[in-house]
Structures are given as structure tokens and as C-alpha cells.
Chain A
Amino acid sequence: MDERLLAIFQEEAIERLDRMSATLLAAESAGAEGEAVASLFRDVHSIKGSAGMFGFAEIGELAAGIEAVLEPARERESLDGAQVPVLLRAVDAIRAATEDDVDDVPGTLAALAAAAGPPAAEVPVAEPSPPPAGASPALARTLRVNADKVDRLLDTVGETALHRGRMEHLVGHGEGTAEELEEELERGHVLVAELQDAVLELRTLPLGTITGALGRAVRDVAVSTGRQVRLELRGEDTPLDRSILEGLSEILVHLLRNAVSHGIEPPAEREAAGKPDEGRIVISAAEREHRVAIVCGDDGRGVPAEVLARARAAGSLADLLAAPGFSTAEEVTELSGRGVGLDAVKRHVESLGGTLAIESTPGAGTEVTLLLPVTLAVGEVLVLERGGVRYGLPLTSVREVLHRERLHELGGRPAIETQGELVRLVDLADVLGAEAAALAESGPAVVVVSGGRAVAVACDALHGDQETIVKSMGPLLAGVPGYLGASVQGDGTIALLLDPAHLVRTGGDAAARPRTTPPVAPLAPKVLVVDDQFTVRELERTILEAAGYRVVTAGDGRAALAALDREGDVACVVSDVQMPGMDGLELLEQIRTQPARAALPVVIVTSREDERSRTRGADAGADAWVVKARFDQQALLDTVGGLLAGR
């Protein structure tokens, strides 16, 4: 089991145990009611669920024992103070067990069994009371953040308050000289930059967060292909924005699969070539000029020399290998034929504003490099104008700005000469299909580069470069091709942020079919994983991603519905039952009320062996049921695979 997930499990469990201790201590004298009891139950239930998945038998048994004591209390919405001591003891026992101390477990289990007493048949059941009126149904999106990062932010906020005071003094009392004012303004400038950095840092996580499942993915592929492979990870501390990390594990799994099945030779072949039997794959990450380079290298057979020759003609090895349908193996193996292709990897990397490069030496190995922005949220853009609309282009994709001259034309396709090279020239309005008057005789053109290809984009005017916050245009417009988002300018006007990869792709065939976009190659099915616990979510994600699925996650039913609307192409939902806000069964009912999703496969995952939930789930149209206590990844994969195959 992956140590990072274990650490997160511990962290989550301790948070829940702390909350339980506090609630129990408060209940010791006067007992507890309604929400307090429900909260205790939720916490212990969550601990039981994830303990089961991680195989912590003692913790699972203790949690089940606490549940048995709490169950009747929850039914009548009141906990007797006399039961508190044994519950506290059990909470402490779980805490000790998370640190491998299980000495008190048998004694505690016996005490819990005694406290639970005979089954709850004779306990009078009170009428359930309606939920409190003020309860807010929508849960805020939460972020687990290192406390040091928050301290740093707070320091900067304090500095900013002082700065404001000094400005007030200088301006309000008219006492500042121009020089002092200028100095203070400069300090303000620096502070704003620091604040921005500190807040962005809150969004970053180390790469190691997602590399946990990679070892297993490599092992699985190695076993099924008869290879011996060792995976090394370097630079796992390298920080990346959450939004970039999200899709990255899927990409790394794919690159690793390729490396094992196409790169590393069978042991006999390696021996004949004078290499050690065991192949080596290294994934290393490092910051490189404000970007992060992630390199996946293997010491396998490399790409054949004739492919390298074809690559020189195609532009680059990445372009050739990522061309739809390309494969270097004589036969596409079962493993690498599944899931996303290298073309999808390339598209994904480019959609993040990154680039993909591949180098290979025949007989010695292949190295794939992903160059990614550290964060998506802030970037420098070049602002340009066409047809009265302002557009932003990520500065990282701008090679140069030209004046439209030295034009050449062949077959109605104009090209511009720059640095001794001819680059296609396209009208930005043509690429986007925007309404605009014809371009003036002369004006600027911006040379945009993406994935090793360049295109010159003609526009009406340039408005310089500026640092900008990238905002989403929302789920309604998320499917519109060509845009990374939008940003609000200093004067309140909006600049639409252009996707350089789209410009280069579409610009390439602009003359042939100027206003169409190329068809999208089929992608692996997308699965939506819904669970309020980060650990469970990530565990299910790694299992599904390692099997080649694309995965999106949500923390509760409401977020899941939003994700379904946002993603549009979710092929299967895997949901927990018990979640705050909207639970899994409500989610299921909501999904089934939408005619378009009446047949969407929904798998319910729960630790609950409860007949009532099962019946309700079946009534609401659950397609399958996976019990967490017996959770094994093959069962989940078989269930999801079966449902998707049946569609």
C-alpha cells in the first residue's frame, strides 16, 4: 500500500478522532443529542470504511464496535453520558492503533461489546425530527494546506496592513515627499506580488502526491509482458498546481506502459545486447525556467533508426509518434492498445500550455519530456485585438512579433518569411470563425509556437504583454474549442485567452477548411468517482487510472452533479453512500430524474451491509453494488468494465 495515501489516511483519521474526543468530552456530563450523535456516527463510520480499504483490521473492528454502541443512540438521537467513557477509551485505542500500538485492542473490544448490550429491539424509538432549518446544504470546496504556507500568507498580509498605514500617513497628511511616496508604492507592488505567490502556493502540491500508484502500474504491465523492470522516481517534491496534477497520473501511467511494453526488451534480448536483465525506468521532475520538466526515460531498445529518419521528415519524433494511430510495435499489445494514446497525451499536455518532446537512441533507450507550467492560474499574456475583441496569448507560446511584410503566396495560402523560415500566415478571425472586417493592408502578426510547430497569426493591433489571472468561462462554454479561458483587464474589459495548440493545429489547415476543427480521437471512458474522503477518492482514482480510465472526482453529491454537467462525457459513476450534504442515494435519484442520464451506469460503493440502503439503491436504479469491507480492486474494475462493455 502506498505510503503517501497511508499518511493521508492517518491525518484524516486523527482529525476525525480529535473531533470525536471533543464531542465525547462535552457529552460526558450531560449526554449528547441530535447532530452531535450524528457527527460521532459519521466520523466513526468513515474511519471504519477507510480502515477496511487499507486493511487495518484492528482499527476496523474498533470502529465497528463504536458504531454498535452508537447505533441505538443515533436511532433515538440521544447518547447517554454513562456510555461516554468506553467510547473515549475506544477512540484512544484507535489513535494508538494508527501508531501501531494494538495492546489495548482486545480489552477495548470486550468493553464495547458489553456496552452495546443486547440488540436494540427494546429501545423506544423516537419520531425522527426534521433537519435543522438553518442547515446549509451546499458544502464549501476544501483544500488541505500545509500550515507553514498559511503562516507565510499571514505574514505578508500583516506587511500589507503596515504598508496601507504608511500610505495613509504619506498621502492623508500630505507629509510624504514624492520620493518617499514612490518608494512606498514600489513596496506595495512587491507586496502584491508576494501575496499572489503565497496564495498560488496554497494551490500547489508535490508531484509525489500522484506518483504512488505508478509502481504498481509498472509491475502489472511488466508481469503481463514478461519484462523485468525497476522504476525510480526523482524530484517527487517538485510543486505543481492541483489542476495540472489532476490529469497527470493518467499521462504518466500511459508513458510507463509504453516504456515497458515498447521500450524495455525481454530479459533474453537484453542479455544478448549486453544489458542487465532488469530494465530501468526513471521518472524525474525538476523546475526549469519557471516551468516544470517531467522526464520519463528508459534504457530499452529505443526507436528504430528508420523511425528516427521518418521523424526528421515529420518535424520531430514527438510529432511522428503522437500522430493518431501510430505504433512502433508490430502488433498493438493488449496493454498499450488500451486507454489514451500518445496523441491524447500530447493534446492534454498542450491544453495545459505545456509541450511534449521525445528523444531516442536506437538500442539505448527513449526519453519523453513533458514541460509544464507550474500553475495555470497566472500567466503572462500578449494582448492582441481582432475585430474589436481583445485576445490574450500565453507569452510562453509567442516566438516573435512581426510586421506583415515579405508575404509569399502559394495556392491561396499566404506564408511569411522569418528567421530564414517560411511560416503559414492565418487571419485570427478565420481560425476562430469570428466576424471581423478584412485585415488592413499592413499590420502585426504574431508567431505562435506549440508542440514544435509554428503559425503566424494576423491581427489588427497589439496591446502589449501583461500578467493576468486566468478565469474559466464556466461549464456552459467549456466545450468551445480554441480558448483556455478569459481574463479581466485593468479597465474591466475581457480578453479571451487563446489556446496556442488549437491555433497551430487549426491554422495548419486553415486554407483547406478555414472554419472547421479537426475531429477528436476517441478517448478512454471517463469515470466520475464520488466520495467525501480524499483517501478513498484517490485510492479509487489510482486503481481506475492504472486500468486506463480517465477519472474525475467529486466530494459529495452536489459536486458530482456539477461535475456531470461540467464534464459532459462521464461514462460511469462510482459513488459512496454516506456523504455530508447530498448522499450517494440522493445523487443516484437526481441522476435518474435527468432523462439524458437515465441509463448512465452508477456503481454504489459502501461499507454498509444495510438492506434498507440496498433496497433504496436498487429502487433508484443503481447498476451495481461494491461493498467496501470486501473492497478489492479487481472487483471494482470488473464491475466498471462490465457496465461499460454493456453500453
Chain B
Amino acid sequence: MSTYLRIGLGPEHYALDVERVREVSEVRAVVPVAGAGPHVLGVCNLRGEILPVVRLDGLLRVDAPPPRRIAVVEDGGRRAGLAITTAAEVEELTLAGDRHEGLYGPLLAGAVLHEDRLIGVLDVGAVLDAVQRRDA
């Protein structure tokens, strides 16, 4: 049993291990970085730090409206803001029981059926790897 932060991306729900989440902030001015690949929205100024902002919609192939929040995640020395949709669906929850590992592609550590809703558990490291590889 672990604690996750639930995030909303358009119509879908995902979960992030809270250990990997540093904070959730309002979306702020993002400056595009040409050459950084299709999954980087750009960089933003988070209290003086230059933070890369990752668009999850393309990576997860989800149709999502423009992001409204940024979930700041860390993996080793890497740090990035994941652009997500809604504020209302950000809550802490505890997921238990059966995961369906490997069923939903390399970016998910698994998926959980919770209160009749399928929630994808994101593998933060794998997501950042894909961004860094600049996968199409």
C-alpha cells in the first residue's frame, strides 16, 4: 500500500507516487525551447529555478485541454513540471490491491480500479526517460 497523488489529465485519471512529487503549482508562463523534443512544453520560472515543463498528453496519447496546473516531480537528479489539467481532481489517496502491471505500456507502473474508475499509476522515471530521449 502506498500513497499517491491523483491528477487529472483531460477525461483520464492518473496517480503519482507522493515520494516523487515536490509540489503542485499554478501553471505559469512557459517559454518554448526549440529542439527540446515533442514532449517538452518549455521552461518556466519556479521561484528563480528554471524548470522544464513536460506535456503528458502527447506521451500518454490523451486528448486534454490546455494545462492549468503543474505537478513538480523528481527522479534522481532530474526535476520537471508535469502539465496537468484540473485542480479539483488533485487529492491524496491510498491505493491498495491488484495492479495490472505491464498492461498499459512502459510509462505506467500499473493501473488500479478505484471507486469504479481506472487510474493509471505513472512511472515518473520512465516518463522523464521518454522526454529525455525526445521520442516522437
A477 and B36 in contact (CB under 8 A), knowing A471-B50, A488-B45, A565-B77? yes
Cα distance, A139 to B113, chains bound together (Å): 39
B residues 66-113 touching A (CB-CB < 8 Å): 75-80
**Quick check: is A440 within 8 A (CB to CB) of the other chain?**
no
Q: Is A433 an interface residue (CB 8 A)?
A: yes
Of the candidate stretches A100-108, A160-168, A339-347, A491-499, the one touching chain B is A491-499
Q: Does B25 contact A (CB under 8 A)?
A: no
Using known A-B contacts A471-B50, A494-B45, determine if residue A477 contacts B31 with beta carbons closer than 8 Å: no
Chain A residues with CB under 8 Å of B48's CB are 488
Q: Determine whether the beta carbon of A482 is less than 8 Å from that of B50.
A: no
| Contact partners of B75 in chain A: CB under 8 A | 565
State which of A474, A485, A492, A562 has its C-beta within 8 Å of the C-beta of B51: A474
Closest partner residue, chain A, to B29 (CB atom): A493
Tell me the count of chain B residues lying within 8 A, CB to CB, of chain A: 27
Most A Cβ at <10 Å: residue of B34, B35, B43:
B34
Query: B120-136 vs A: 1/0 string, CB under 8 Å?
Result: 00000000110110000
* Interface presence of B16 (CB below 8 A): no
Q: Are A389 and B31 in contact (CB under 8 A)?
A: yes
- Chain B, Cβ-Cβ closest to A565: B76
Chain A 374-415 interface mask (CB, 8 Å, partner B; 1/0): 000000000000000110000000000000000000000000
Q: Which residue of B lies closest to A563 (CB)?
A: B77
Contact B78 A433 (CB under 8 A): no
A488 CA to B37 CA in the complex, in Å? 22
Say if the beta carbon of A88 comes within 8 Å of chain B: no
Q: Do the beta carbons of A474 and B50 come within 8 Å of each other? A: yes
Q: In the docked arrangement, what's the CA distance between A496 and B79, Å?
A: 18
Indicate if B9 sits at the interface (CB-CB under 8 A). Answer: no
Whether the pair A486, B50 counts as a contact (CB closer than 8 A) is: yes
Near A by CB (< 8 A), chain B positions 26-55 give: 29, 31-37, 40, 43-45, 48-52
Taking a contact as CB atoms under 8 Å apart, the answer to whether A435 and B34 are in contact is yes
Is the beta-carbon distance between A494 and B35 smaller than 8 angstroms? no
Tell me, rounded to whole Å, the shortest Cβ–Cβ distance linking A8 to chain B.
Answer: 26
Instruction: Tell which of B33, B45, B80 touches A480, judged by Cβ atoms closer than 8 Å.
Output: B33
A480 touches B31 (CB 8 A): no
Q: How far is the CA of A432 from the CA of B42 in the complex (A)?
A: 14
Q: Is B80 a contact partner of A474 (Cβ separation < 8 A)?
A: yes
Judge if A481 is at the interface, Cβ distance under 8 Å.
yes
Cβ < 8 Å to B, chain A residues 432-482: 432-435, 471-477, 479-482
> Is A566 engaged at the interface, CB distance under 8 Å to the other chain?
yes
User: Quick one: given A471-B49, A473-B52, are A494 and B77 in contact (CB under 8 Å)?
Assistant: no
Question: B37: nearest residue on chain A (CB-CB)?
Answer: A480
Smallest CB–CB gap between A475 and chain B, Å? 5
Complex contacts, B33 vs chain A, CB 8 Å: 473, 477, 480, 483, 496
Q: Which chain A residues numbered 261 to 305 have a C-beta less than 8 Å away from chain B?
A: none
- Contact between A494 and B34 (Cβ–Cβ < 8 Å)? no
CA distance A330 to B49 in the complex (A): 51
Q: From known contacts A479-B132, A481-B35, A493-B45, infer whether A561 and B78 are also in contact, taking CB-CB under 8 Å.
A: no
Closest approach, in angstroms, between the C-beta of B59 and any C-beta of chain A?
13
Shortest Cβ distance from B31 into A: residue: A494
A390 to B32, CA, bound (A): 10
Given contacts A473-B50, A479-B132, A565-B76, contact A432 B31 (CB under 8 A): no
Chain A residues near B132 (CB-CB < 8 A): 475-476, 479, 568
How many angstroms from the CA of A303 to the CA of B129 in the assembled complex?
A: 47
B76 and A561: CB pair below 8 A? yes
Rounded to whole angstroms, the CA-CA distance of A568 and B132 in the bound complex is: 10
**Neighbouring B residues of A568 by C-beta, 8 Å:** 132
Beta-carbon contacts of A135-159 to B below 8 Å, as 1s and 0s? 0000000000000000000000000
CA distance A477 to B32 in the complex (A): 12
B60 to chain A, nearest CB (A): 18
A598: min CB distance to chain B, Å: 15
Across the interface, do B43 and A435 meet the contact criterion of CB distance under 8 Å? no
Instruction: Return the contact of B131 from the options A472, A476, A485, A562 (Cβ within 8 A).
Output: A476
A434–B32 contact, CB under 8 A?
Answer: yes
For the complex formed, measure the closest distance between the CB of B56 and the CB atoms of chain A, giving whole angstroms.
14
- Rounded to whole angstroms, the CA-CA distance of A61 and B30 in the bound complex is 60
Contact A561 B77 (CB under 8 A): yes
Q: Which residues of B contact A433 (CB under 8 A)?
A: 34-35
Q: Is the CB of A480 within 8 A of B35?
A: yes
Q: Which residue of A lies closest to B133 (CB)?
A: A479
Say whether, besides A488-B45, A488-B48, A493-B45, A477 and B77 are in contact (CB < 8 Å).
no
Look across to chain B and name the residue whose beta carbon is closest to the beta carbon of A473. Answer: B50
* In contact, B36 and A566 (Cβ under 8 angstroms): no
Nearest-CB distance from B30 to chain A (Å)? 9
Q: Residue on B with the closest CB to A561?
A: B76
Which residue on A lies nearest to B131, using beta carbons?
A476
Contact A477/B52 with A488-B45, A494-B44, A562-B77 known, Cβ cut-off 8 Å: yes
Q: Is there an interface contact between A474 and B35, defined as CB atoms closer than 8 Å? A: no
B44 touches A474 (CB 8 A): no
Taking CB atoms, residues of chain B closer than 8 Å to A432 are 34-35
**In whole angstroms, what is the CA distance A486 to B33 when docked?**
10
State A471–B49 Cα separation when bound (angstroms): 8
Name the contact of A562 in the complex, choosing from B43, B50, B76 (C-beta under 8 A): B76
Separation in Å of the A448 CB from the closest CB of chain B? 17
B80 and A476: CB pair below 8 A? yes
Contact, CB under 8 Å: A473 / B45: no
A residues near B36, Cβ cutoff 8 Å: 477, 480
- Interface residues in A480-512 by Cβ distance below 8 A to B read 480-483, 485-486, 488, 492-494, 496
Cα A618 to Cα B82 with chains together (Å): 39
Q: Which residue of A lies closest to B30 (CB)?
A: A494
Chain A contacts of B40 at CB under 8 A?
A: 476-477
CA distance A561 to B125 in the complex (A): 13
Contacts of A562 in B (CB 8 A): 76-77
Asked if B35 contacts A482 (CB within 8 A), the reply is yes
Contacts of B34 in A (CB 8 A): 429, 432-435, 482
Q: How far is the CA of A408 from the CA of B35 in the complex (A)?
A: 29
> How far apart are A349's CB and chain B's nearest CB, in angstroms?
22
Known: A483-B33, A488-B45. A472 touches B50 (CB 8 A): yes
Looking across the interface, which residue of chain B has its beta carbon closest to that of A488? B45
Given contacts A475-B132, A481-B35, A486-B50, could you give 17 more A-B pairs where the C-beta distance is less than 8 Å? A434-B34, A435-B34, A471-B49, A473-B52, A474-B51, A474-B52, A474-B80, A475-B77, A476-B40, A476-B52, A476-B78, A476-B79, A476-B128, A480-B37, A482-B35, A496-B31, A562-B76
Q: Can you offer 8 A-B residue contacts whose CB atoms are under 8 A?
A: A473-B52, A474-B79, A476-B131, A486-B31, A494-B31, A563-B77, A566-B77, A596-B129
Nearest 5 CB-CB pairs, A to B? A562-B77, A434-B34, A432-B34, A565-B76, A486-B50
Q: Which residues of B contact A (CB under 8 A)?
A: 29, 31-37, 40, 43-45, 48-52, 75-80, 128-129, 131-132
